[in-house]
Structure 1
Amino acid sequence: MSTAAPSAPGTAPSTGTVLADLLPASSAARARLRDLALVVGGAVLTGLAAELSLPVPGSPVPVTGQTFAALLVGTALGARRGAASLGLYALAGVAGLPWFAGGTSGWSMPSFGYILGMIAAAAVVGALARRGGDRTVLRTAGVMVLGSAVTYAVGVPYLAHAAHLSAPEALRLGLRPYLLGDALKAALAMTALPTAWHHLSR
């Protein structure tokens, strides 16, 4: 739970605050309920985005909205809540809730490493957002690129191990086909997040 003080009306929220901190909570108990709702909501959003799935010929890893949602959740909620939200998403899917890509569940698929990577990525982008990393277009671009890199840093080696691929094969099947999509996702975030801060600062 964040302890960042709210900004005065009409002033820009200070560094140390993420978007979720701006939701009001009149007591510590209500703040905990707010944070719980945000964690669950972020997991649900990621699950819904995962259903936007397109297969990639020759690769066991589809193109989904999952990674974009995970990065937005981490940035908006901050490191702790963001990682908790993606952790909840992963645990519920492993337990059998069919909200991984294509309505799947479990942990045996070769793409499961990307889900683990999203937990780490949410923590990284959330920590950067608390330092103001989502308040300008260029900073947001850097945050999104780094978050995607963290996801791949876990997902690609996991894919290589699970699918018995060489490192070059894992990069060819688990990284290269998705770079254009990641660039488009970063462009969306570069517009959405600084715009949200701009309106909140007015």
Structure 2
Amino acid sequence: MNKKSERLRILLKCSIFAAITAILAQIEIPLPLIPISGQTLAVGIAATILGSRHGALAMVCYAAIGAVGLPVFAGFSGGPQVLVGPSGGYIFGFIAAAYVTGLILEKTKFTIRMAFLANIVGMIVTLLFGTVQLKIVLDLGWNAAIVAGVYPFIVVGLIKAYLASWIGITVRQRLIQAKLITAPKKEIA
């Protein structure tokens, strides 16, 4: 396969996961400041299937599509005002979380157990980015930012981390079997 067609395949995979993230973003439970949405589930699935670089690239595509105004963020919102608003830190955190989650899996084994651990670390990264921006934008103290930006997401985040692990590993193994993606030499399918 030549470089041009390989780049096109990567771009298509990343675009598909950006679209999946946009769809899951619309599944939400409203909360006073930041809603619980399906976005982080999509981030974990993308990182588990695509790995660090391509998972992060998928989230960059997602953030860029939303930044230009397409309503892909939670609640069918979009535009740069979302990225600089109270929930913007979480969106930036998706990029870092996808990279970190994928990197942990690339350095270990692609098992559900390791994927769950990697997705928990990714969840922590997302919450860290989100809480910092929430604190800055709303001029909250650290305690108030943590209460609003972390606590409501812990239980649901653990459930989504497990689901992302299970779905991601299952789909990844099937894609490898169908020869749609290649497994690293060290990976046990």
TM-score, normalised with respect to structure 1: 0.79
After the TM superposition, which residues 69-84 of structure 1 pair with which residues of structure 2 at under 5 Å, given as runs? 69-84=42-57
Per-residue CA distance 1:75-107 (angstroms, 9 max, x = gap): 211222111111111122111111100011122
Superposed, 1:106-125 pairs within 5 Å as 106=79, 107-125=83-101
- Residue in 1 aligned with 2:102? 126
- Matched letter for residue 150 of structure 1: V
Q: Unpaired runs of 5+ in structure 1?
A: 1-25
- Give deviations 1:101-128, integer Å, cap 9, x for gaps: 0011122420110000111111111212
Change (3 A) 1:78 1:172: same
Matches within 5 A, 1:78-117: 78-106=51-79, 107-117=83-93
Any gaps of 5 or more consecutive residues in structure 2? 178-187
Greater gyration radius: 1
Indicate yes or no: 2:135 matched with 1:163.
no
Larger helix proportion of the pair = 2
What is the RMSD of the two structures over their aligned residues, measured on CA atoms?
A: 1.8
Aligned length: 174
Decide whether the 8 Å contact of 1:76 with 1:129 is kept in 2: no
Task: Name 2:28's counterpart in structure 1.
Answer: 53
Paired residue for 2:161?
A: 186
Q: Report the Cα offset of residue 129 of structure 1.
A: 2.3
Q: Distance in 2 between matches of 1:99 and 1:179?
A: 24
User: Structure 1 residue runs of 4+, over 6 Å off?
Assistant: none
Deviations along 1:114-156, whole A, 9 cap, x unmatched? 00011111111121222344x2232112101100011111110
Q: TM-score, normalised by structure 2?
A: 0.84
> Once the 2 structures are TM-superposed, how far is the Cα of residue 196 of structure 1 from its aligned partner?
4.1
Percent identity for Structure 1 against Structure 2:
32
Q: Would the alpha carbon gap of residues 193 and 132 (structure 1) be closer, same or farther in structure 2, given more than 3 Å must change?
A: farther
Quote the Cα distance in structure 2 between the aligned partners of 1:44 and 1:198. 21
